[in-house]
Amino acid sequence: MKTLLTLIFACLLSSSVLARDIAGVNVANTTTLHGGTTPLILNGAGIRSKFIFDIYVGALYLPSKATTVDAVLAEAGPKRVSMHFLYDEVDKDKLTDGWREGFENNLDPARFKQLEPALNQFNGLFRTVHKGDVIELDFQPGHGTQVWFNNELQGSVTAENFYPALLLVWLGKDPADEDLKEAMLGHD
């Protein structure tokens, strides 16, 4: 009996080490990209809120921990941002307007203009999302940015300089949500 209780306790303890619960979403401490082999660790996760509404749980995964924006951007390996939607429905136009606004707010005009065709291609990969949907934005060196919607590949943006600009939507000088930025950088 003592062995069984020890085993149960060990299982409960290990499951709490392997994931965090944020607003009812199980956020894994490690992951790998679809088709990838490099393990990524949870750098940080938090809730994207707008006004009084919780929109999604956002999580940043990297090969190793980074607590500054410069360190995240300097990481040359694979990366993932996952978005677990909490809000009932987010219209495609709201998503794509948000991406455009995030790029405009965090890039100088010349860099925005250079990346605008890739942003338009990226925006074409989205659709309306609902509570429970998961979007994964993966960067795999040599393959660019991949958009996964509920584990289905929607498409890719091959421009290698696109993903660092995309990360600025969350981590830039004018992020979508300052609290989420701090959480993704592991400052929570």
Q: Residue 36 maps to which CATH number? A: 3.50.70.10
Of 76 and 90, the structure prediction assigns the larger pLDDT to 90
Predicted pLDDT of residue 18: 60
Nearest Cα neighbor of 82 from 61, 103, 55 is: 61
Model confidence over 12-44: pLDDT tens digits? 333 334 678 999 999 999 999 998 889 999 999
Q: What is the mean pLDDT of residues 47-57?
A: 94
- Tell me the angle at which helices 92-106 and 162-171 cross, rounded to the nearest 10 degrees: 90
- Domain carrying residue 146: 2-184
Residue 93 pLDDT > 80, yes or no?
Answer: yes
CA atoms within 13 A on the CB side of 97: 6
Task: Encode burial over 145-165: b for 16+ CB neighbours within 10 A, e otherwise.
Answer: bbbbbeeeeeebbebeebbbb
Nearest Cα neighbor of 59 from 30, 35, 39, 34 is: 30
CB atoms within 10 A of CB 32: 14
Specify the number of domains making up the chain. 1
Residue 81 pLDDT > 60, yes or no?
Answer: yes
Predicted pLDDT of residue 47: 97
Token readout for 169 is: 């939507």
Token readout for 58 is: 């956002």
SS3 1: coil
Token readout for 79 is: 């990366």
Instruction: Strands of the chain (E only): list them.
Output: 19-22, 25-28, 30-31, 40-50, 53-62, 79-85, 89-90, 129-130, 134-140, 144-149, 152-157
Q: What is the mean pLDDT of residues 64-73?
A: 97
